[in-house]
């Protein structure tokens, strides 16, 4: 084989290789575009029976249970718990401070945040903390402020996604709930922008009607949160199907929107008052007076230090 | 204010200093305390050898503590503020790198450095013979052993410095690992030689001898029974969440057990511990600080609890805790004679 023929073959082989690589890359891009993002559910039951459903989308193969809590926008207080990971002291303000994480567990009945995982048929107690739990697509974590039974409703990931307004069908990669236009602030008593009707599993239970209001998050995060008010007994085991009403214009994608939301949480409160949950809201104040005091005291210490150094120098001289 | 601060006061000061690093991760308190400890450390009169050896120990220890920042960032992948990401395929270090982990590493380094500088201050200021002297008779052997262990670090650093100077004066140049043999071998042989000398000296003085007179204390049984009772009380209190009471009961248990146990050696003291105005002032300041920092949280929120996970929030600052930490600067204001 001549040198020229060999060069020609080499060039063709290279061209073929580049073509195959391009095709593979294109296929990867197309398959990624068609793929639904991973998503996991979260069900939180407070002591008064309030239920919070959250659905979190993520690009990674898996996230930790702590990340799931964090990304859902729920206010979490943690305490380090050695090799078992972080212990959850309070969720949304219910529970204990981090320096006394199990403050309500020393008396009978002992209350603390119990951690569960959904195995498809029911809830199983998870033996370690959320930072040691690996959450993959379709998983549901449960938290309950209880002294005994979990009280968590039986549900599945499609149910959680539906309640929170997400679509888990493969062709829809983006979330259904979208932030309203930023120029239109939500009024104090907002008109319902979406109506959710839940059908109880038990026919003896009165049928609750849930109305949902999509509000923008007011803090640094961009997650929209949905507050639900029910007009009847809460039935968490519902197969709710959100149906947007004709006046659901705020839910359209505004031109100023930059990114689709990746998480949403729904509060199911036994009362009739809507309580919007704001994601990422800091529980403490901004600490400015504390900083001023700290700087003042630190200045005093530095001044004393300067005097001491000068005194030592004069003594040694 | 002038005078000599006695060993007991320094021990109380050291115990008060370590309360915050051991019980809190509030960065404001830790930073303020580190400043206070540094001022006290640099206010000490320089004594050749011992002080500089402990200074080197504190510097090296703080340098090692800084490594915890990088370790934390690479191994803890939790938090809401991600600034970089390593490939997930990498074991242990793969995943998101967060500002939360970085901040937690800085806070841990602050706590470790504070304890190290406090230990360096304490050991530079106190003669270990004085420490052994203030211990109860039943703990005298433990005190001697602890004193020897504490002296190991400065003596080794001092010996290393002497060997380094001697080899340099002989014309030896330390350029690489191979040249280290001329340094390491004499250091090891010096250490072994010192250990042999020390053991012979202890043997000569009857350390560890069994033929000692056991002095029985009055009400010894009563004290021992009281110690057992307070221990049970401590367990119950801690088990039911009454931590301040539990800690106080534990401290009481230790004190009663200490004074209830028989003394196994007869010791004589030629010079009693002096309580100068300086010693009294520093001891009272350290005592108030310890009580407030340990038990104050039972009555007011001192904001000791702080965590950078899962979100970074502003640390709170309690004026009461801040003033209590400021009281620990009193040793620096004393003109030591």
Instruction: Tell me the per-residue pLDDT of B86-101, one tens digit each, with 9 for 90 and over.
Output: 888 888 888 889 898 8
Distance from CA of B100 to the nearest CA of A (A): 13
- Grade residue B1 by pLDDT with cuts at 50, 70 and 90: low
A275 DSSP 8-state letter: -
Q: Is the pLDDT of residue B181 over 80?
A: yes
- Report pLDDT for A284: 43
B199 vs A243 pLDDT, higher one: B199
The token duo for B100 is 């939360």
Q: Is the pLDDT of residue A186 over 70?
A: no
- Report pLDDT for B289: 96
Per-residue pLDDT reduced to its tens digit, A30-83: 444 456 788 899 999 988 888 888 888 888 888 888 888 888 888 888 876 655
- Which residue among B39, B239, B313 places its CB closest to the CB of A308? B39
B33-49 as b/e, with b when 16 or more CB fall inside 10 Å?
A: bbbbbbbbbbbbeeeee
B215 DSSP 8-state letter: B
- Report pLDDT for A205: 35
Per-residue pLDDT reduced to its tens digit, A86-118: 788 889 888 888 777 888 877 667 888 989 988
Report the residue of A38, A90, A285, A308 to disrupt the B interface, i.e. the one with the largest count of B CBs within 10 Å. Answer: A308
Q: Are A176 and A166 in contact (CB under 8 A)?
A: yes
Indicate yes or no: CB of B326 within 8 angstroms of CB of A311: no
Question: In sequence order, what are the beta bridge partners of A267?
Answer: A52, A227
> Averaged over B50-67, what is the pLDDT?
84
Residue in chain A nearest B41 by alpha carbon: A305
Give me the DSSP letters along B126-168. Answer: S-HHHHHHHS-GGGHHHHHHHHHHHHHHHHHHHHHHHHHHHHH
Tokens 């809460």 locate to A234
Indicate yes or no: CB of A293 within 8 angstroms of CB of B319: yes
> Averaged over B196-211, what is the pLDDT?
81
Q: Is the pLDDT of residue B113 over 70?
A: yes
The token duo for B269 is 């003291």
Indicate yes or no: CB of A287 within 8 angstroms of CB of B314: yes
Spatial distance between the Cα atoms of A181 and A253, rounded to a whole number of angstroms: 8
Indicate yes or no: CB of B39 within 8 angstroms of CB of A293: no
The token duo for A173 is 């990669």
Cβ–Cβ contact A121 with B under 8 A: no
Per-residue pLDDT reduced to its tens digit, B219-277: 788 888 999 999 999 999 888 877 778 888 999 999 888 888 776 656 666 677 788 89
Cβ–Cβ contact B92 with A under 8 A: no
Contacts of A98 in chain B (CB under 8 A): 305-307
- Mean pLDDT score across all residues of chain B: 86
- Report pLDDT for B11: 93
Secondary element (H or E) of residue B47? none
- Report pLDDT for B21: 94
Tokens 């406090």 locate to B118
Distance from CA of B61 to the nearest CA of A (A): 22
Phi-psi category of residue A128: left, alpha or beta, with phi > 0 → left and psi -120 to 50 → alpha: beta
Give the E-state strand segments of chain A in sequence order. Answer: 38-45, 51-58, 62-64, 76-80, 86-91, 94-95, 112-118, 123-125, 134-136, 140-146, 194-197, 209-215, 225-230, 241-243, 263-269
Q: Is the pLDDT of residue B166 over 80?
A: yes
A15 vs A58 pLDDT, higher one: A58
A168-192 as b/e, with b when 16 or more CB fall inside 10 Å?
A: beeeeeebbbbbbeeeeebeeebeb
- Which residue among A66, A99, A301 places its CB closest to the CB of B304? A99
Cβ–Cβ contact A135 with B under 8 A: no
Q: Is the pLDDT of residue B195 over 70?
A: yes
Indicate yes or no: CB of B310 within 8 angstroms of CB of A293: no
- Grade residue A216 by pLDDT with cuts at 50, 70 and 90: very low
Contacts of B332 in chain A (CB under 8 A): 304-305, 308
- Report pLDDT for B55: 83
Contacts of A285 in chain B (CB under 8 A): 314, 316
Q: Is the pLDDT of residue A227 over 70?
A: no
Indicate yes or no: CB of A98 within 8 angstroms of CB of B38: no
- Grade residue B41 by pLDDT with cuts at 50, 70 and 90: very high
Indicate yes or no: CB of B313 within 8 angstroms of CB of A284: yes
Q: Is the pLDDT of residue A285 over 80?
A: no
Q: Supply the ipTM of this predicted assembly.
A: 0.82
Cβ–Cβ contact A308 with B under 8 A: yes
Q: Are B184 and B159 in contact (CB under 8 A)?
A: no
A150 vs A44 pLDDT, higher one: A44
The pTM score is: 0.60
- Mean pLDDT score across all residues of chain A: 66
Distance from CA of B236 to the nearest CA of A (A): 11
- Report pLDDT for B320: 94
- Which residue among A76, A99, A298 places its CB closest to the CB of B35? A298
Q: Is the pLDDT of residue A192 over 70?
A: no
Spatial distance between the Cα atoms of B173 and A214, rounded to a whole number of angstroms: 75
Indicate yes or no: CB of A103 within 8 angstroms of CB of B241: yes
Spatial distance between the Cα atoms of B34 and A307, rounded to a whole number of angstroms: 18
Contacts of A288 in chain B (CB under 8 A): 314
Considering chain A, what percentage of its residues have pLDDT values greater than 90? 9
């Amino acid at each position: 084989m001549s040198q020229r023929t060999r060069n020609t073959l080499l060039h063709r082989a290279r061209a073929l290789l580049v073509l195959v690589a391009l095709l593979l890359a294109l296929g990867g891009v197309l398959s990624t575009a068609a793929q639904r993002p991973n998503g996991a559910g979260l069900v939180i039951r407070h002591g008064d029976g309030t239920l919070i459903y959250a659905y979190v989308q993520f690009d990674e193969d898996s996230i930790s249970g702590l990340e799931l809590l964090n990304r859902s926008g729920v206010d979490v207080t943690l305490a380090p718990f050695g090799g078992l990971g972080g212990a959850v002291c309070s969720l949304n303000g219910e529970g204990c401070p981090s320096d006394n994480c199990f403050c309500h567990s020393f008396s009978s009945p002992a209350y603390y945040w119990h951690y569960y995982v959904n195995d498809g048929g029911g809830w199983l107690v998870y033996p370690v903390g959320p930072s040691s739990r690996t959450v993959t697509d379709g998983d549901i974590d449960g938290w309950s402020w209880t002294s005994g039974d979990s009280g968590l409703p039986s549900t599945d990931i499609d149910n959680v996604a539906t309640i929170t307004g997400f679509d888990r069908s493969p062709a829809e990669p983006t979330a259904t709930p979208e932030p309203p236009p930023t120029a239109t602030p939500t009024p104090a008593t907002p008109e319902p922008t979406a109506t959710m009707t839940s059908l109880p599993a038990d026919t003896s239970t009165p049928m609750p009607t849930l109305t949902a209001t999509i509000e923008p998050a007011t803090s640094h995060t961009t997650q929209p949160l949905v507050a639900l008010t029910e007009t009847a007994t809460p039935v968490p085991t519902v197969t709710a199907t959100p149906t947007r009403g004709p006046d659901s214009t705020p839910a359209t994608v505004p031109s100023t929107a930059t990114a689709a939301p990746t998480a949403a949480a729904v509060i199911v409160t036994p009362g009739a008052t809507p309580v919007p949950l704001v994601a990422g809201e800091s529980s403490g104040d901004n600490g400015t007076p504390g900083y001023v005091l700290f700087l003042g005291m630190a200045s005093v210490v530095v001044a004393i230090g300067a005097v001491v150094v000068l005194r030592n120098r004069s003594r040694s001289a | 204010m002038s005078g000599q601060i006695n060993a007991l006061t320094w021990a109380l000061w050291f115990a008060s200093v370590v309360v915050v690093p051991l019980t809190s991760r509030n960065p404001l308190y830790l930073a303020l305390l580190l400043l206070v400890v540094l001022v006290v450390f640099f206010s000490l009169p320089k004594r050749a050898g011992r002080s500089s050896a402990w200074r080197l120990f504190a510097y090296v220890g703080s340098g090692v503590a800084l490594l915890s920042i990088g370790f934390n960032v690479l191994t803890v992948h939790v938090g809401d503020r991600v600034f970089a990401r390593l490939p997930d395929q990498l074991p242990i270090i793969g995943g998101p790198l967060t500002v939360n982990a970085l901040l937690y590493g800085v806070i841990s380094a602050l706590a470790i450095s504070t304890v190290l500088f406090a230990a360096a201050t304490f050991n530079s200021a106190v003669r270990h013979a004085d420490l052994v002297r203030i211990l109860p008779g039943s703990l005298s052997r433990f005190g001697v052993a602890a004193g020897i262990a504490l002296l190991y670090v400065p003596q080794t650093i001092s010996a290393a410095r002497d060997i380094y100077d001697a080899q340099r004066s002989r014309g030896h140049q330390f350029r690489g690992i191979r040249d280290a043999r001329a340094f390491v071998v004499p250091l090891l042989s010096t250490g072994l030689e010192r250990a042999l000398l020390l053991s012979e000296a202890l043997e000569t003085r009857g350390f560890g001898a069994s033929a000692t007179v056991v002095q029985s204390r009055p009400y010894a049984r009563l004290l021992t029974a009281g110690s057992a009772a307070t221990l049970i009380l401590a367990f119950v209190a801690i088990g039911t969440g009454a931590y301040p009471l539990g800690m106080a009961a534990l401290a009481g248990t230790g004190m009663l057990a200490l004074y209830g146990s028989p003394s196994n050696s007869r010791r004589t003291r030629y010079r009693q511990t002096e309580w100068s105005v300086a010693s009294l002032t520093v001891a009272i300041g350290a005592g108030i600080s310890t009580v407030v920092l340990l038990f104050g949280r039972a009555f007011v929120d001192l904001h000791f609890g702080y965590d950078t996970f899962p979100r970074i929030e502003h640390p709170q600052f309690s004026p009461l805790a801040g003033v209590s930490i400021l009281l620990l600067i009193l040793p620096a204001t004393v003109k030591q004679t």
